[in-house]
Every structure is written in C-alpha cells, then in structure tokens.
Homo-oligomer: A and B are copies of this chain.
Amino acid sequence: MDFSSKLLENAVYEMSQLPGIGKRTALRLVLHLLKQPKNRTEQLSNALEKVRNQIIYCENCHNISDTPVCDICANPKRDESLVCVVEDIRDVMAIENTGQFKGLYHVLGGKISPMEGIGPQDLNIASLVGKVKHGEIKELIFALSSTMEGDTTNFYIFRQLEGLELRTSTIARGIAVGDELEYADEVTLGRSILNRIPFEGSLKSDY
C-alpha cells in the first residue's frame, strides 16, 4: 500500500501489528479515529498505556487485578482448598459467569507451546507446585483447552505433582447442553459415552 502520509502509514503499521488486524482493517480503524473528535483517540491511547503500565497480577492466583490480591482470592467465602487451573483471565471470566464454582483459580498465563517458544518456565507453574507442596490445596481442577498444547501443559503439571497428596480432576468434555447428538463430532460423543455419569448426578444443578 502506498500512503500519501507517513503519519498515517505509521499508525496503520502499528495497528496492523495487533493479532487478526490486517492492513486494510487497520486503515479503516485509523480513518475512523480521524473522523472522531480528538479526545476519542486520546482516551483510547491513554487507556492502553495505563493498562499496560499499571496492571498488576494477583500475588496468589496471577490473575489480572487492580490490587496485590484479587477480589476472588481475597473473598473469605471462597474455598481455598479447591483450585481451578486455567490459561488466562478469559477462562476465569467464563467460569465466574456460570456461578457454579466457589473455589479459587490459578492462572498459568498461557500453555506450553514449543512452536511459539513458550516453555514451562514462562508460565506460573512453579508457584502452583509450591502451593500444593505447602498443603494449601486439596483438589486441583484442570480446565485447559483440549488441544495438544493444553494436554502437554496438563501432563507437565501432573508429573510435577506426582507423589503429592492431592485430588486432581479435569472439567467434563461432552455434548453441549441443548446440542443435537447427530451434529456432535465423534471424539466428543465418544468421550461423553466413556465418561457417562450416574443418572441422578445429571439432575444436580448446583455445585
């Protein structure tokens, strides 16, 4: 693309560095900002700089937080012996939305991915193992996505915890509530039959 302005070219370039934003989309976004009042752009750039420079991660669960210990970890009503291991804040938000989980979280900050150069030392794994060794945790629920990276990460953590007194589980995989069996993929349907649950259990709606 040939731009008539270096300023514009630079803004489009920076915007197009974001994931999933191509050059055309970036140009559309920048042109939109140019049509808006100046304070819109100022608010956007201030908000981005502020979140990047001032963000803190909870000392306990490593979730994004405004305070050294996040609201979930600081809540005395939550069961701190039950910990759910997730990849990032989006998973925490999704599980919190269900209202079904009363334990704490442990945010890894990613998954082990040799392709992207992310090893175990880049994730918050050591602190999780530390917490388990201190005997703070009775049950660990693994809620990573069931991809190769997710499984690798699960397995790595599982090995680190071998021999320690601990119950572990993973979230159930199966047919989504409301879905038709005939449209489900074979792997999911197969797992949902292998991991079938007692009938009375399926009627429980509360954790």
A interface with B by C-beta (< 8 Å): 1-8, 10-11, 13-15, 17-21, 25, 27-35, 38, 40-55, 63-66, 70-72, 88-90, 92-93, 96-97, 110
Interface of A is mostly: helix
**Max chain B C-beta neighbours (<10 A), residue from A25, A31, A48:** A48
A65 in complex: contacting residue of B4, B50, B65, B97, CB < 8 Å: B4
Interface centre among A1, A49, A63 (most CB of B within 10 A): A49
Given A4-B65, A29-B18, are A11 and B51 neighbors across the interface (CB < 8 Å)? yes
Complex CA–CA separation, A64 to B58 (angstroms): 45
The listed residue (B1, B52, B93) touching A3 by CB distance below 8 A is B93
Closest 4 CB pairs of A and B: A45-B45, A11-B51, A41-B52, A14-B47
Complex Cα–Cα for A90 and B26 (A): 12
Interface core residue of A38, A52, A70 (most chain B CB under 10 Å): A52
Distance from A34 Cβ to chain B, minimum over Cβ atoms (Å): 6
Residue of B nearest to A46 (CB): B45
A32 partner residues in chain B, CB cutoff 8 A: 18-19
Residues on B with C-beta less than 8 A from A30 are: 48, 51
**CB atoms of A19 and B10 under 8 A apart:** no
A116 to chain B, nearest CB (A): 11
Residues on the B chain within 8 Å of A70, using CB: 4
